[in-house]
Amino acid sequence: MLRFVIRRVLLMVPALLVVSAIVFAVIQLQPGGFLTQYLEDPRFSPQTVETIKRQFGLDRPLHVQYLRWIQGIVTRGDFGYSFLNGRPVAGLIWERVGWTVFLALVTIACTWVIAIPLGIYTAVRPRGAAATAVNLVSYLGQAMPDFLLALLLIAFVLSRGGANVGGLFSPQYIDAPWGWARVRDMLAHLWIPIAAISLEGVAALMRQMRAQLLDVLGADYIRTAHAKGVAEQRVLWKHAVRNAVNPLISLAGLSLPGLISSTILVSIVLNLPTIGPFLYDSLLNKDQYVVTTLLLISSLLLMVGNLLADLALLWVDPRIRYQ
Amino acid sequence: MTRRIKVWIVIGVVVGLVAPASAADKLVRGYDSLGVAPGKAGGRLTVILGDSPQSFFYYGVIDSNLQALAAHLYDGLVEYNYRTYELEPALAEKWTISRDGRVYTFNLRRNVKWHDGRDFTADDVIFTFDQIVANPEARGGDANAFMVGGQRVKFEKVDTYTVRLTLAKAAPAMLQYMRLYMMPKHKLLPFSVEGGAKPADINTAWPTTAEPREVIGTGPFRLQSYVTGQKITLVRNPTYWKTDASGTRLPYLAQLEMLIVRDPEQQVAQFLAGNVGQLNISGAQFPELRSRQQAGAPFKVVSARALFGSPPHLAFNFDARNPDLARLFSDLRWRQAMQMAINRQRIIDDIYNGLAELPGHGVAPISSWYFDTKSHLGKFDLQAAGRALDEMGLRMGPDGVRLLPNGRPLEFTVTYGTDSAVWPPMATIIQNDFKSIGVRVNLVGILSRTLLSTGLSGNYEALLLAFGDQPDPELRKPIWQPGGALYYWHRATQPATPGGEPNFAAMQPWERQIYDLWELGGTTVSRPQRKAVYDKWQVLFAQNLPVIMIAKPTAVGAIHNRYGNYIYSLGVIPGFNPVPLLYQK
Amino acid sequence: MRQGAAVPRRSSLAWRRFRRSVPGVISAAVLLLLYAVALLAPFLAPYSLVEQHPALTYQPPQRIHIIREGRLARPYVYPMAKTRDPVTFVSRFTADTSRPLPIRFFVRGDSYALLGLRLDRHLFGVDGGTVFLLGTDAVGRCVLSRLLVGSRVSLTVGIVGVAISFAIGIVLGGLSGYYAGVLDTLLQRVIEILLSIPRLPILLALATVIPASWPSTRVYLGIVAVLSLIGWAGLARVIRGQVMAVRHLEYVTAARAIGLRDMRIILRHIMPNLSSYLIVTATLALPGYILGESALSFLGLGVKEPMASWGLLLRDAQSFNALHLYPWLLAPGALIVISVMAFNFLGDSLRDVADIQSS
């Protein structure tokens, strides 16, 4: 097992290098660049622009820029410099990571709380109006573009006279000390982004739960339990659901990095202090080190998530271990 | 103590108390016609900031959000009058200009304190100009402005409260540059060349991670705290050097918050929800908010003719890659004909909801430099435009598209910004109208922030863009003077080497005329004479159409009823809303 | 030859099972309708994509009346006139009830090209006025017409994108699963690396690469290419897994024994047996392309004027103005939702059918 883990971790390193090279190359293909804002201001002469170019090392050939960046990460833990913000990349990302992870975790939790019971219900009673209604609503959630859903929710809140139309806090609570009032304020703001983001994931998870549960319900040991006379409810909860849920746990680990990217649109519309809007802005401004670092970190998270998923699977299913 | 000494002490104390208050402080008055009344102290205002500032050092970056913040933290030697846009004393109490216009002497206001209590002196002024603004490596600096007649402007400290500038030749617009914000020498010296650092190090001063108490200025508010990406909190400067007409020290507000909201719809939502007290909006958003006001919402929407704010124009590339188009676009008859095909009234009505006016040519209609060129704007007349094109020999082809002299169809691309509420409908209206006179337009949409760089690269055929107006034409010289760095529709006129002379051979006769007018205007000292020069320029502009001006948007803002003294007179640049005069009822 | 005898029976069995699934049948019907509409869009649309009516900007949808003066009449609409509120500048529309405009069919209008023919008849229209069943937008263009013509882009992006991704995925995944060994390991690593790059950011990055000077048709192809580039890796992996599973089955070894070329075996023998699986996967992958295109267009990085797509049309609706004053601009959102849902339901039904097949 340990050898497996070490091998996977070692394989991650060249993979990450390739990812960073690909991303760096793609960004370079984009026309325009960081310096356009300096050209925009008539007070700047072309000489000043040249000076700035030199200052940021943008006059070196591309592969040199890339290699120097890699060297910086490996030797100094320096992820490069953000032209747009005038600060090292690492600090900028660190400031936004907290809320991003918090929002992602809360969203996963809510998705689960809604999807698992619904999945169980539609597995146990697959036909009937309630199941169709649940299916319909969850598919609706998945089909609607998330930015549109977010906007509709804002309009709904405004029409009821509410003030929690964006951000995570009301202005007066942004830098207030933690207390019940602040938590209540945050919850009042939180439900909109969670509703907009998690609705998409609910349908997928619900379907997976149903499929897993149906598989498990058809298994021998369930029939044995029935034959033994165990009560239906107990069979369902103590045996079937527990076994069905296991593989899904590993899937939960995989959805975390995906959430970071899928929340970009909603974060912009709802003005959330997360990484999403930051990434989008950097992309548009060709702030190359920020973009490459963010994508590198997301890829790393995905690879780690994959590894954990595989480990969980190994742990759960002994059959695979001995293959 | 003898009685005489006591009397002198009393007199001394009285004089000591009264004199600083009256000699140093500026009385803000004269705005009664704008509805300004004495206000109440206290209260809090929340405004919108479009994005996180990239730094807290004003001269380290070019960032409109930092500029909005800086307007509350700093002052310049001079400032605009809110009503007339004329320059009046700020940190400089008075100034004299020598007869030949080359020497400026500023007498600084005394007893102005930095936010940390230290005195503002001539050292700060010299330091700001010499070490920061004129530093070519300062990214937000303006070294070019201080090169006059090929020589750097000389800054000297005459005494603690007097500063002298010496120029190689007269440059009347130099006074405009005295609006630049003053920085504290005692805080920023370590980042400057004088303090032993490299020239580029100045840009590393005061990043957004700096301790807010370190970022100091002389302005009405002081930086208190910053929650990354969310909110900036400012508190009242209790020793601010302005008072209102009755002697109450300004600003009235105790606290100013800037809420960082990027999405314009979110901004409106926050305003409607009452979280934000004041909002700058566009003509397109006006009906929604105004109808809510009608329905009884507790705010009012105010519009005013703007001085700042960018009037859109359509530019044809005189140096288009396609030689037939280049020839066509350089022809004045073409530009005049196409001007008749631009429906300015419809654009004003539909895109700006009526909140715009006919444009000036390089100067805002409300500016004191404006010369009425409206008669040259022509009328929207598609038939006349078609006839003019006929007369140019561009006959109509078989499928409704005119033919160039070489027999190819007359079509070209119009490049515009897709991420805006204004450009896409404007582009489609123009495309539609041009189609009806046999000119086929293909629209190319790009991100608005890349519009100028596209223009400068010459990689376009026709372009929709807007430059802001300024109170003094000289500040727009790189745009409108042929051969200027931003004269992007005729790049052949630009100098072969940076800083060299423009390419006169490529200029058309009227361009040479305009060039000479700009040179004259930049050095004429007498205001009436300068005005005459710029008047001639505006007429030449309107007659020869380097670009076709489209409209001048009105400035629109909304403010909650709980605030008084809201004047929206200078236009869309936030920060010129005179926040020090605002008070909470 | 058991296989030959089984095939016709299997497909008819599958069809009967499919027919029993109500959501599946409804979805299939809806999708057929949508694609038929997209095909005939210029004919069905009363106006062209770009025709502007400056006097009638932001007009609400016109109601069709069938009762006049108490009696049943030929369907008609009233002409609308626009006035602007002098204070709020909100546009108000009043119907001129004295002049009913009957709806005529097969009217002459703007000419258009359809299936190689140049035609100018439109399904319906009015004489002496305008009929906007879904209202107009900011410059007075018919929303219904733009919606119909825009459906061509939105609906074909998915099909073309999936087709390209599948083409690449089948070849590469098939080769990888068939040969195994070094080729497989290499391709797997490449696919893993590509899949570990998060989808939306790389989509945005690639979309910004498309030069703005390209005409809108090339931009459309560019968007499709970008979406396919991101989609093929996942498909390839799935296909590779399936190919690996069947690699050792009898019919494959038999085919090899006969001496058939490997590529032929993969394409002509293995893939058809995976066809049900491929169809399901394709159907379930399509919505991702539709949503991806709408997201790109929302950000301004997708198709550009004068081409229309549902995502681009939705941009016009993305404001409080629109939600409050002009809600008919949201129609494209409804269509996106309907088509995505239809694909999902259809894919589910197909999968149920295929699952029952395999068990």
Q: What is the pLDDT of residues C202-245, one digit of tens each?
A: 888 888 788 766 777 888 888 899 889 888 888 888 888 778 77
Residue C118 contacts B where some CB pair is shorter than 8 Å: no
**Average model confidence (pLDDT) across chain C:** 83
Q: Is B3 exposed, middle or buried (0-12, 13-18, 19+ CB in 10 A)?
A: exposed
Instruction: Please give the average per-residue pLDDT across B4-12, as a whole number.
Output: 62
H or E stretch including C314? helix C310-317
Q: What number is the ipTM of this complex?
A: 0.74
Q: Which residue has the higher pLDDT, B345 or A78?
A: B345
Residue C199 contacts A where some CB pair is shorter than 8 Å: yes
Q: Which two tokens stand for residue B400?
A: 């409704």
Instruction: Please give the average per-residue pLDDT across A226-255, as a whole number.
Output: 71
Helix axis angle, A2-29 to A288-316, nearest 10°: 150
Q: Do C325 and B442 touch (CB under 8 A)?
A: no
Q: Could you say which DSSP state residue C64 is in? A: P
Residue labelled with tokens 């790009």? B446
**Average model confidence (pLDDT) across chain A:** 78
- For residues A41 and B140, what is the distance between their CA atoms, to the nearest angstrom? 10
- For residues B272 and B288, what is the distance between their CA atoms, to the nearest angstrom? 11
The alpha-carbon gap from A130 to the nearest alpha carbon of chain C, in Å, equals: 14
Instruction: List residues of chain B with CB under 8 Å from any CB of chain C.
Output: 264-265, 268-269, 272, 284-288, 290-291, 293-294, 343, 346, 349-351, 353-355, 413, 415, 418-419, 421, 424-425, 427-429, 431-432, 442-447, 450, 454, 459
Residue B238: strand, helix, or coil? coil
| pLDDT of C1 higher than 50 | no
Q: Which residues of C touch B286 (CB under 8 A)?
A: 88-89
Q: Which residues of A touch C201 (CB under 8 A)?
A: 261, 264, 279, 283, 291, 294-295, 298
Give the strand pairing for B440-446 and B411-417: parallel
* CA-based nearest residue to C225, from C280, C128, C302, C127: C302
- For residues C248 and A14, what is the distance between their CA atoms, to the nearest angstrom? 33
Select from C138, C306, C320 the Cβ nearest to the Cβ of B265. C320
Per-residue model confidence as pLDDT tens digits over C271-283: 777 777 788 888 8
C259 and C185 assigned to the same domain: yes
Q: Could you say which DSSP state residue B228 is in? A: T
C116 and C219 assigned to the same domain: no
Q: Are the beta carbons of B552 and B364 closer than 8 angstroms? A: yes
Q: Which residues of C touch B415 (CB under 8 A)?
A: 212-213
Q: Are the beta carbons of B52 and B260 closer than 8 angstroms? A: yes
- For residues A99 and A105, what is the distance between their CA atoms, to the nearest angstrom? 10
Q: Are the beta carbons of C315 and C298 closer than 8 angstroms? A: yes
Q: Are the beta carbons of B221 and B256 closer than 8 angstroms? A: yes
Peptide bond into C306 cis (omega under 30): yes
- For residues A277 and A268, what is the distance between their CA atoms, to the nearest angstrom? 5
C263 and C169 assigned to the same domain: yes
Q: Which two tokens stand for residue C305?
A: 């004027």
- For residues B206 and B202, what is the distance between their CA atoms, to the nearest angstrom? 9
Q: Could you say which DSSP state residue B526 is in? A: -
pTM: 0.78
Assigned domain for C236 exists: yes
pLDDT band at C145 (very low <50, low <70, confident <90, very high): very high
* CA-based nearest residue to C235, from C158, C171, C154: C171
Share of chain B above pLDDT 70, in %: 94
Q: Which two tokens stand for residue B209?
A: 């991670």
pLDDT band at B571 (very low <50, low <70, confident <90, very high): very low
Q: Are the beta carbons of B215 and A81 closer than 8 angstroms? A: no
Residue labelled with tokens 């649309």? C45
CA distances from A304 to A254, A256, A315, B546, C80 (A): 9, 11, 16, 59, 62
Q: Which two tokens stand for residue B176?
A: 């405009």
C31 and C64 assigned to the same domain: no
Q: Which residues of B touch A268 (CB under 8 A)?
A: 262-263
Task: Please tell me the predicted confidence (pLDDT) of residue B173.
Answer: 82
Q: Could you say which DSSP state residue C54 is in? A: G
C84 and C124 assigned to the same domain: yes
Q: Do A55 and B137 touch (CB under 8 A)?
A: yes
| pLDDT of A178 higher than 50 | yes
Task: Please tell me the predicted confidence (pLDDT) of residue B21.
Answer: 43
The alpha-carbon gap from B267 to the nearest alpha carbon of chain A, in Å, equals: 9
C7: left (phi over 0), alpha (psi -120 to 50) or beta: alpha
> Which residue, C122, C140, C158, sits at the end of a domain?
C140
Instruction: Please give the average per-residue pLDDT across A95-102, as a whole number.
Output: 81
Assigned domain for C47 exists: no
Q: Which residue has the higher pLDDT, B437 or A155?
A: B437
Phi, psi of C267 (to 5 degrees): -80, -40
Assigned domain for C220 exists: yes
Identity of residue C163: A
Q: Which residue has the higher pLDDT, C120 or B363?
A: B363
C231 and C265 assigned to the same domain: yes
Task: Please tell me the predicted confidence (pLDDT) of residue C359.
Answer: 44
Instruction: Please give the average per-residue pLDDT across B192-205, as a whole number.
Output: 88
Per-residue model confidence as pLDDT tens digits over C99-137: 888 888 888 888 888 888 888 888 888 888 899 999 999
pLDDT band at B166 (very low <50, low <70, confident <90, very high): very high
Assigned domain for C45 exists: no
Q: Do C89 and B286 touch (CB under 8 A)?
A: yes
| pLDDT of B403 higher than 90 | yes
| pLDDT of B7 higher than 70 | no
C107 and C90 assigned to the same domain: yes
Task: Please tell me the predicted confidence (pLDDT) of residue B339.
Answer: 96
> Which residue, C110, C140, C170, sits at the end of a domain?
C140
pLDDT band at A253 (very low <50, low <70, confident <90, very high): low
| pLDDT of C307 higher than 60 | yes
pLDDT band at A107 (very low <50, low <70, confident <90, very high): confident
Helices (H) and strands (E) in chain A, counts: 15, 2
Task: Please tell me the predicted confidence (pLDDT) of residue B572.
Answer: 38
| pLDDT of B15 higher than 60 | no
Per-residue model confidence as pLDDT tens digits over B505-518: 999 999 999 999 99
Assigned domain for C210 exists: yes
pLDDT band at B129 (very low <50, low <70, confident <90, very high): very high
Instruction: Write out the E strands in B151-254.
Output: 151-152, 154-159, 162-166, 221-227, 231-236, 242-244
Q: Do B498 and A174 touch (CB under 8 A)?
A: no
Residue C47: strand, helix, or coil? coil
C338 and C276 assigned to the same domain: yes
Q: Which residue has the higher pLDDT, C272 or C184?
A: C184
Select from B287, B346, B443 the Cβ nearest to the Cβ of C325. B287
Q: Are the beta carbons of B76 and B90 closer than 8 angstroms? A: yes
Q: Could you say which DSSP state residue C125 is in? A: E
Q: Are the beta carbons of B93 and B77 closer than 8 angstroms? A: no
Task: Please tell me the predicted confidence (pLDDT) of residue A323.
Answer: 46
Q: Which residues of A touch B136 (CB under 8 A)?
A: 47-48, 51
The alpha-carbon gap from B171 to the nearest alpha carbon of chain A, in Å, equals: 16
Peptide bond into B251 cis (omega under 30): yes
Task: Please tell me the predicted confidence (pLDDT) of residue B462.
Answer: 96
Q: How many domains does chain C have?
A: 2
pLDDT band at B46 (very low <50, low <70, confident <90, very high): very high
Instruction: Write out the E strands in chain A.
Output: 81-82, 87-88
**Residue-range domain boundaries for chain A:** 99-286
C238 and C353 assigned to the same domain: yes
- Touching A: which chains, 3+ CB pairs < 8 A? B, C
Q: Do A86 and B54 touch (CB under 8 A)?
A: yes
Instruction: Please give the average per-residue pLDDT across C283-293, as a whole number.
Output: 87
Q: Do B485 and A164 touch (CB under 8 A)?
A: no
Q: Can you give the C-alpha Rg of chain C in angstroms?
A: 25
C266 and C159 assigned to the same domain: yes
Select from A15, A264, A291 the Cβ nearest to the Cβ of C196. A15
C209 and C291 assigned to the same domain: yes
CATH of domain A99-286: 1.10.3720.10
C222 and C244 assigned to the same domain: yes
- For residues C187 and B459, what is the distance between their CA atoms, to the nearest angstrom? 40
Q: Are the beta carbons of B394 and B403 closer than 8 angstroms? A: yes
Residue labelled with tokens 């596209």? B454
In DSSP terms, A218 is beta-bridged to none
Give the strand pairing for B555-560 and C65-68: unpaired
Residue C127 contacts A where some CB pair is shorter than 8 Å: no
Phi, psi of B255 (to 5 degrees): -145, 140
CA distances from B374 to B362, B366, B551 (A): 13, 13, 11
H-helix segments, B313-369: 323-330, 332-339, 344-346
- For residues A79 and A100, what is the distance between their CA atoms, to the nearest angstrom? 19
- For residues A145 and C291, what is the distance between their CA atoms, to the nearest angstrom? 7
Q: Kindly compute the dihedral angle of the four CA atoms of residues A130, A132, A134, A139, in this order, to the nearest 10 degrees.
A: -170
Q: Which residues of B touch C91 (CB under 8 A)?
A: 287
Q: Are the beta carbons of B270 and B258 closer than 8 angstroms? A: no
Task: Please tell me the predicted confidence (pLDDT) of residue C73.
Answer: 83
Task: Please tell me the predicted confidence (pLDDT) of residue A207.
Answer: 77
Assigned domain for C295 exists: yes
Count of residues in chain A? 323
First to last CA, chain A: 12
Per-residue model confidence as pLDDT tens digits over C169-182: 888 888 887 777 88
Print the domain residue range for C309. Answer: 6-39+147-358
- Touching B: which chains, 3+ CB pairs < 8 A? A, C
Domains in chain B and their CATH numbers? Answer: 312-553 (3.10.105.10)
Q: Which two tokens stand for residue C357?
A: 């097949």
- Which of A83-87, B54-58, B433-437 is predicted least confidently? A83-87
- Which of A99-113, A297-311, B410-424, C40-54 is predicted least confidently? A297-311
Q: Which residues of A touch C310 (CB under 8 A)?
A: none
pLDDT band at B280 (very low <50, low <70, confident <90, very high): confident
Task: Please tell me the predicted confidence (pLDDT) of residue B18.
Answer: 47
Q: Would you list the DSSP string of C166-220?
A: HHHHHHHHHHHHHH-HHHHHHHHHHHHHHHTS-HHHHHHHHHTTS-TTS-HHHHH
Q: Are the beta carbons of B23 and B161 closer than 8 angstroms? A: no
Domain of C302, CATH number, reads 1.10.3720.10
* CA-based nearest residue to A138, from A195, A213, A200, A191: A200
Q: Are the beta carbons of A129 and A219 closer than 8 angstroms? A: no
Q: Do C212 and B446 touch (CB under 8 A)?
A: yes
